Amino acid sequence: MKTKNTFAKLRRINKALINKFEATNEMLKLATEQIDRLNKAIHIKDIEINSLEIKEKELSDKIYSLYNNLSETNNMNTSNYLAWLSEHEENSKLIKINNKLSIGLTVMSLVIVGLVATLIGAIG
């Protein structure tokens, strides 16, 4: 009888160990699936990070390009302003000369009118 009880006990222990093994095996499967999902998520995040780094480099290149264009535009504006300024100074000089000529012509016209009036007065 003692042997019968021992076999029954061993069967129960064996069945309990098999149940624990199956439960542990199921937990390992779930943990493996979770690890796989996390690895996929990490891979997706790595792809997103790489994509963002590429976009950051593209934006950085565009910003440097804009700064270069802005610098060139400022240089062009400066040279255009300097050209306008020198032209304006030349025009200003011409206007001053024209004003002097106008005053001279006006004075000469008055002198001629005065001479003509004097001649008419002397003749008349």
Of the chain, the percentage scoring pLDDT greater than 70 comes to: 96
Of residues 102, 108, 104, the one with CA closest to residue 116: 108
Q: Is pLDDT of 1 > 70? A: no
CA distance 80 to 20: 88
The helix or strand, by DSSP H or E, that contains position 111, with its residue range, turns out to be helix 2-123
CA atoms within 13 A on the CB side of 73: 6
- Give the model's confidence band at 110: pLDDT under 50 very low, under 70 low, under 90 confident, else very high: confident
